[in-house]
């Protein structure tokens, strides 16, 4: 094994285009992943790729869901690790029949989420990874305000720590709903009914992880199978990864599956070898 340390902008293209690597695995943004795919399949040496890219995970709450349980999942799934997870709950899509109660439940929970020093065991939300990331999250918050979303939970920005923010009545066509926000900001979108909720869940260029809440397991399972994503969790958060489970996405969230037998298939190739003790007799 050889480890080459360096910035992707400096060594990435060279590495992908080099003759030696036969397989390229990349985890990161869709923008960079698209570049990796173009070089790997369009260069002098064609290579196989596995790409684990961005997400815009929806958590769908159907009209028969346990509202408190769903609200807890939305808050935990969004603010865990400051929202800096590709599987983080990026959107809560809620049936209109229970929308107001869900918003109230989320607001009550999110207002209690602690933020600040990550060395303090009581802290739930710590700093963004760097100043640039913090500024990007703040820009998303300001844009959401301009777009008319209703801010129901907010707090200060202290250094690189952005307090949890929750927006209700978010326009599904707004930047906050359509783009991945790698930070502690939760948008809540109202769906007219189950059919509309499914449309909203799939109305994205991404398809990494997702979740659906319903007290009818069959209903939830049928709904889950209609979401175009690599992973869907019934009555749980969108964040889930196990060594024996296939991890990966659809659409612009990537190519291939990681973990278990699936990653073995990705990282190896089939080679057909035939052996004859004596050569066959050919007709000519």
Helix axes 30-42, 8-17, angle to 10 degrees: 30
Annotated catalytic residue 135:
no
| Choice among 10, 19, 38, 52 that is catalytic | 52
CB environment 242-259: b (16+ within 10 A), e (fewer): eeeebbbbbbbbbbbbbb
Judge contact between 26 and 36, C-beta under 8 A.
Answer: yes
Annotated catalytic residue 52:
yes
| Choice among 19, 38, 68, 86 that is catalytic | 86
232 is written with which tokens?
A: 């869907």
Residues in the chain: 284
Judge contact between 168 and 189, C-beta under 8 A.
Answer: no
Judge contact between 16 and 24, C-beta under 8 A.
Answer: yes
Catalytic sites, residue numbers: 52, 86
């Amino acid at each position: 094994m050889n480890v080459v340390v360096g910035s992707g902008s400096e060594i990435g293209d060279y590495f992908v285009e080099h003759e030696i690597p036969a397989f390229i695995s990349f985890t990161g943004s869709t923008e960079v992943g698209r570049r990796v795919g173009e070089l790997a399949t369009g260069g002098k040496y064609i290579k196989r790729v596995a790409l684990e890219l961005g997400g815009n995970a929806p958590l769908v709450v159907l009209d028969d869901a346990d509202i408190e349980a769903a609200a807890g999942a939305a808050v935990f799934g969004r603010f865990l690790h400051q929202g800096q997870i590709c599987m983080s709950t990026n959107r809560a899509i809620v049936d209109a029949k229970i929308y107001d109660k869900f918003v109230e439940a989320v607001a009550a929970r999110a207002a209690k989420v602690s933020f600040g020093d990550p060395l303090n065991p009581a802290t739930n939300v710590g700093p963004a990874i760097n100043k640039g990331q913090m500024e990007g999250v703040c820009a998303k918050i300001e844009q959401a305000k301009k777009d008319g979303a209703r801010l129901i939970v907010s707090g200060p920005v202290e250094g690189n720590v952005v307090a949890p923010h929750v927006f209700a009545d978010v326009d599904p066509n707004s930047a906050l709903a359509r783009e991945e926000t790698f930070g502690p900001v939760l948008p809540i979108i109202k769906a007219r009914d189950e059919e509309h909720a499914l449309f909203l869940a799939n109305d994205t260029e991404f398809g990494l992880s997702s979740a659906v809440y319903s007290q009818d397991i069959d209903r939830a399972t049928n709904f889950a199978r209609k979401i175009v994503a690599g992973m869907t969790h019934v009555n749980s958060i969108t964040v889930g990864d196990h060594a024996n489970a296939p991890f990966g996405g659809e659409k612009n969230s990537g190519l291939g599956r990681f973990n278990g037998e699936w990653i073995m298939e990705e990282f190896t190739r089939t080679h057909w070898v035939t052996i004859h003790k004596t050569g066959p007799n050919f007709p000519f």
